[in-house]
Amino acid sequence: MQSSIHLKTNSKSLALADTGKTGILLINLGTPEATDYRSMRRYLKQFLSDKRVVESSGPVWWLVLNGIILRKRPKTSGRAYDLIWNRELDESPLKTVTRSQAAALAKMFGGKANVVVDWAMRYGKPSIDDVLQRLTDKGCDRILLFPLYPQYSGATTGTALDNVFDVLKTMRHQPTIRSVAPYYDHPAHIKALADSIRAHHATLDWEPEVTIASLHGLPVDFIKKGDPYQDQCEATVAMLREELGFPDWKLLLTYQSRSGRTEWLTPDTEETAVGLARDGIKNLTIIAPGFATDCIETLEELHIRAVDAFLKAGGVNCSVIPCLNDSTDSINMLKTLIDSNLQGWI
């Protein structure tokens, strides 16, 4: 009798599960809605008010943020965004590419009516709050979260998941949640990065002597408190060297996007590029293996500032390898990761 009841219960549960939909939510960092002062200020205030990003608090930090940073930085950040803005769609490239990634993945799941693919930004629009509600409104009772950060940090993946669970706390009927793990060492990711380097190098009419792998920087204090980001960055670059057959000196790990007076991870990307030029390196390429999509950090910091610094210091040729973006290799890699996390759901 007990066995019979058990089987009936399982059968009912399976039937109920089959009536629901599965949502796949790509999450990226964020973007301002425009490059004007007010839009940049709104975006920066949301970003810099996040305690996962800036751990300072209290009245002194409030005065620094609102009285100094949010008065000056919107202008300088707006000018940087102006240099890389997608004029055709009037949006940042990060938004353009993330939308395209979601659309490509949705097409790959086109044969499954019970799968819904969507995308959101931790800061800016579309917000995680709005998109989670949209997915549940469409009947998604299971949602796979995919933070598009290969390496984990509390300031990226951590705060994205915080935001998700803050939203879930307000829901009477919560969907079942899974999250894709950091994929810094996944073979599909390493191979996609290596193939992108090989393909880009093949387009050049000069031979790169050194390639810099530039990862986003992080305050050293975050690492000391237990953030695994640095270890995962080092693992990515070590595996990429092995995949390419490069010695250590031919693929260098550096960190970019330093700000403020606190101590950040080193070596710095621009300083390394300048040092290489002064040491006689003439031909350099740069890749950003911590970014799933091209954004302000790659298009302005690397394509413009780092390249310019290298050439002014005596370098002759410098080229930045695009992020994986919405390339076929990228979408196939993201689909591989998603499929492994959807087992038992679809």
Question: 38-59, pLDDT tens digit by residue?
Answer: 999 999 999 999 999 998 888 8
To 10 degrees, what angle do helices 70-84 and 37-48 make? Answer: 110
Domain boundaries, the chain: 2-183+330-341, 187-320
pLDDT of the residue at 346: 84
More confident residue, 82 or 62: 82
Mean pLDDT of the 319-323 span: 98
Question: Do 187-320 and 2-183+330-341 have the same topology in CATH?
Answer: yes
6 is in an annotated binding site: no
Tens of pLDDT, residue by residue over 230-268, are 999 999 999 999 999 999 999 999 999 998 889 999 999
Tens of pLDDT, residue by residue over 192-202, are 999 999 999 99
**CATH number of the domain located at residue range(s) 2-183+330-341 in this protein:** 3.40.50.1400
270 is in an annotated binding site: no
Whether residue 17 has pLDDT greater than 90: no
Tens of pLDDT, residue by residue over 135-183, are 999 999 999 999 999 999 999 999 999 999 999 999 999 999 999 999 9
Whether residue 329 has pLDDT greater than 60: yes
- Residues contacting residue 158 through CB under 8 Å, at least 6 positions apart: 52, 152
pLDDT of the residue at 60: 84
Computed on alpha carbons and rounded to an integer, the radius of gyration of the chain in Å comes to: 22
- pTM, two decimals, is 0.92
pLDDT of the residue at 15: 40
Whether residue 10 has pLDDT greater than 70: no
CA 55 to chain centre: 21
Mean pLDDT of the 20-31 span: 96
pLDDT of the residue at 56: 85
The model's confidence at residue 5, banded by pLDDT at 50, 70 and 90, is very low
Give percent of the chain above pLDDT 70.
95
Would you identify the CATH topology of the domain 187-320?
A: Rossmann fold (3.40.50)
Instruction: Cite the beta strand spans of the chain per DSSP E.
Output: 21-30, 115-123, 140-147, 176-179, 210-216, 251-256, 283-287, 317-320
Give the alpha-carbon dihedral of 151, 157, 159, 163, to 10 degrees: 170
